[in-house]
Amino acid sequence: MEPIELLEPLELAKYPTFAPMPQQYSQIKGMLAITRASLLTTFKSPQAVFFSLFFPIVLIAIFGALSGGNGISIDVAFDSKSDTGNVVYQVIKSLPVLKVEHASEEELNDRLKKGRITALINIQKEKDSSTKAQYDIHLKSTSASKKDLPVLESVLRDVINKINSQTNPEIATYAAITHEEVPGRIYRMIDFYLPGMLGFSLIGSAVFGVAFVLYSLRETLVLKRMYTTPIKRGYIILGEGIGRILFQMTTAVVIILFGTFVYHFTLSNGWVTFVELMVISFIGLLVFMGFGFVISSVAKNQNVIPIYANLFMFPQYFLSGTFFPKSLLPEGMQGIIKFLPLTAMNDAMRNVAFEGSHLTQCGPQLAILGAWALLIYGIAVKVFRWE
């Protein structure tokens, strides 16, 4: 063995030493890496894209085509000052083709401006004896009711002609029709269906997506491997959650814009309404994801995840005004179903989109969603498992 030649101290000085400098691990960068991986995985999933984006858009297209853009019934109301002691009033009230609405004067005028009733009818006895008609049937309508107004006028003319022939044929006309148009906007069926389809997309993807993904990561020990790395556990969950949120918010943008530009979905205050719809979607998505966290933790195997998820989602599909107005349900249920998270979300979105409300005017609905969020995430913290 050759002897080791030792360097003199002066020669050692020629070779500088580099001591390794400790670097702090960036939790944010680790979280963003997980977010990017989760987002790419979700976009590459055919099931996620189909149920979150394609399926709701197909339903919107079907409902939009079937509705033809407007309502299908002739809803009317009588002005509170209308004369009710005449034959015209009694006949109109009994006609099966007309649905007479009852509410306060303020509420009826609000419905008229939003196109939910075709006309306000005010029947008054003519004061001028020189006129041929005994009564004036005054119709107050808006531009929103242009499609149904000719039908209503035709029905009223038939009523007047029958009364003329039965009462006194010598009188030229028992009543005459006058018309007044006030400002209003068209209420299309898409204004009801699109918020429901958006809620349908968000709740389904959030609950199923989070539940299946976290359960799979746990069962394949991916979560266990992740938290052996320097990244903290909270950032792992946060990264996965942000990836899911970005995907769903992207689908929400596509659904809203599709409905707006193809079927003229109403955005009362333009882009302000669009932003407020996105805020409501984000809040609802957070709540629904909480249920996904809980289901992924309590599920003993993958086969029971759909059962738990559907137990939560299916009742809301049919009770929360997703496919048909919840007002069609028995009155005894109205006080209960308004506290469901999907009901609160659907109501808030419809109020903002068509009614022209702002988030500050959706306090009850946002409070319900906030209460659900506190409850479900409190449970999620208690039951969540890493392995």
E-strand ranges in 236-348 read: none
| Last residue of one domain, picked from the residues 150, 182, 214 | 182
311: enclosing H helix or E strand:
helix 305-319
Query: How does residue 112 score in pLDDT terms, banded at 50, 70 and 90?
Result: confident
Query: How confident is the model over 301-318, as pLDDT tens digits?
Result: 888 888 888 888 888 888
**Looking at the predicted structure, is the pLDDT value of residue 295 above 60?**
yes
E-state strands within the chain: 74-78, 98-101, 119-125, 135-142, 175-182
Last residue of a domain, one of 182, 214, 246: 182
Secondary structure element (H or E) that encloses residue 31, with its range: helix 27-43
Domain count across the chain: 2
pLDDT tens track for 250-262: 989 989 999 899 8
pLDDT at 196 over 80: yes
Judge if 237 and 350 occupy the same domain: yes
State yes or no: pLDDT of 59 exceeds 80.
Answer: no
**CA-CA distance, 51 to 223, in Å (whole number)?**
26
CB 283 within 8 A of CB 368: no
> Interhelix angle for 233-263 vs 55-67, to 10°?
20
Least trusted range by pLDDT, from 1-5, 32-36, 284-288, 366-370: 1-5
- Same domain? For 59 and 78 the reply is no
- Mean pLDDT of all residues in the chain? 79
pLDDT tens, residue by residue, 143-159 = 766 677 777 888 888 88
Same domain for 317 and 259:
yes
Per-residue tokens: 328:
């069609």
Predicted confidence at residue 70, as pLDDT, reads: 44
List the domain range (segments joined by +) for residue 61. 27-66+189-383
Q: 351 and 241 in one domain?
A: yes
Amino acid present at 375: L
Reported pTM: 0.66
**Tokens 């539940």 sit at which residue?**
211
